[in-house]
Amino acid sequence: MSYGDSIVYEKQENIGIITFNKPEMMNLVTQAFFKELYEIQEEIDNDKSLRAVVIKANGPHFSAGVDLSILKSIDSKFIMDNLAWLQRLYGRWQEMPIPVIAAVHGLCYGSAMELILGCDIRIASRDARFSIPEVRFGLSPDMGGTVRLTKLVGIGQAKRLIIGCDEISAEEAWQIGLIEILVERKELEERAMKMAKRIANLPPVAVRFAKKGINVADESSVNAGLLFEQAQSTFCCGTEDQNESIDAFFEKRKPVFKGK
């Protein structure tokens, strides 16, 4: 384990908590950041006890984006050799069977904004500011930004934010659908953890299929989505967890799920 410098990872019961931890550098995204994030993702994938993940940051800002000095030191060959891996790094949140919640405050720029676009649910405090300014630096977003932002907020807003390099407030981000929940700064982490704990207490197989089903619906036809619903319902009906959830409801007690 070599993470812990740029990013801290800990568990609270069955919830994984990822914390960006370079506030003196505005939590800039560096090559060390990428390596640490990958190691944490590997640990999360191998931990079958986890039921949700929360991503947050120490200091006044979530992240000011990529360290621009990186861009001065790479060329096309580096991109050809590494970009597919980097894209999967941010897209991997969607491959995980458990929900990933981003809790954002302060600046969330560029690469950091692409990272939260890959999460399942985005919660932001009112002091948050969002920008995806890669075009300003002679690039276009290349870690899922053009794809995921367009799906999330629509083609017009995506063009305005990416081509126009507009910076928007948390209020506007909420209005256009970039974030799902808007809270006061002092409530941010509590709100994210409250949601994570609620999800963690739901039947894990049902949560897994619900996440996959929504992803299938987003990426394919209505017919394909309905076929997936049929398959997941066939699997889930009659499982131990489903029976336990119904029994607990009628018996007015807290359910105990085994993931079966």
Cα→Cα distances 214→209, 217, 219, 245, 258, Å:
9, 5, 9, 22, 23
* Residues with Cβ within 8 Å of residue 160, at least 6 apart in sequence: 166
CB-based contact 7:31 (threshold 8 Å): no
CA torsion sign, 210 to 212 to 218 to 223? negative
Phi, psi of 8 (to 5 degrees): -105, 140
Is residue 189 among the annotated active site residues? Answer: no
Catalytic residue of the set 13, 24, 95, 134: 134
Q: Facing residues of 29 across strands? A: 66
Phi, psi of 21 (to 5 degrees): -135, 40
Catalytic residue of the set 24, 43, 114, 180: 114
CA-nearest of 36, 46, 47 to 3 is 36
CB-based contact 195:101 (threshold 8 Å): yes
Is residue 134 among the annotated active site residues? Answer: yes
Tokens matching residue 23? 């506030």
| C-alpha to C-alpha distance for 71 and 14, rounded to whole angstroms | 38
What are the residue numbers of the active site? 114, 134
